[in-house]
């Protein structure tokens, strides 16, 4: 079993290296989007300016990702038509998800009057 795993790792090590070399910008953008989302969740009870800054950073990273996604990750000239169809479908789902997140962020941009700090 271990010999089979070693053989598999040797055969596919170049494939992983090729993937990392060609998709490094996408991985960095995706990591930035996830990091911004995680920071928004962790720091949601801090100052309003910090929450708004994190929301804007998340939206900027998501827009950059969504601009990259259809241009560089969908195989537009693939011989297999299904690859293009599935790529477009996944891209459409990601765009729909971004619109939902955008609406959610805009809906909660300011706190309701009952949660705002009272003047002293």
Gap between the Cα atoms of 5 and 9, Å rounded: 6
Tokens of 54: 């994190």
Residue 92 in domain: yes
Query: Nearest to residue 37, comparing CAs of 102, 95, 92, 91?
Result: 102
Q: What is the pLDDT of residue 111?
A: 64
Domain count, the chain: 1
Residue 102 in domain: yes
Residue 9 in domain: no
Q: What are the distances in angstroms from CA 41 to CA 34, 94, 105?
A: 11, 20, 12
Tokens of 22: 């060609």
Tens digit of pLDDT for each residue in 34-67?
Answer: 787 777 777 767 777 777 887 888 888 888 888 8
Residue 60 in domain: yes
Gap between the Cα atoms of 61 and 64, Å rounded: 5
Residue 6 in domain: no
Q: What is the pLDDT of residue 92?
A: 94
pLDDT band at residue 14 using 50, 70 and 90 as cut-offs: low
Q: Look-up: residue for tokens 């195989």? A: 75
Residue 62 in domain: yes
Range of 69's domain? 28-110
Q: For the chain, what percent of residues have pLDDT higher than 70?
A: 72
Contact 24, 71 (CB under 8 A): no
Residue 1 in domain: no
Which residues contact residue 29 at a Cβ distance below 8 angstroms, ignoring those fewer than 6 apart? 61, 64, 65, 68
Residue 64 in domain: yes
- pTM for the model: 0.57
């Amino acid at each position: 079993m271990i010999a089979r795993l070693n053989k598999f790792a040797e055969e596919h090590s170049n494939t992983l290296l090729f993937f990392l070399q060609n998709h490094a910008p996408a991985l960095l953008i995706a990591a930035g989007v996830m990091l911004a989302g995680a920071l928004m969740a962790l720091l949601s009870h801090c100052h309003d300016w910090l929450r708004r800054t994190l929301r804007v950073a998340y939206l900027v990273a998501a827009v950059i990702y969504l601009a990259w996604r259809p241009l560089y990750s969908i195989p537009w000239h693939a011989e297999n038509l299904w690859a293009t169809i599935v790529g477009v479908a996944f891209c459409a789902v990601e765009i729909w998800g971004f619109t939902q997140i955008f609406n959610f962020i805009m809906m909660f941009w300011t706190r309701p009057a009952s949660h705002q700090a009272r003047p002293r």
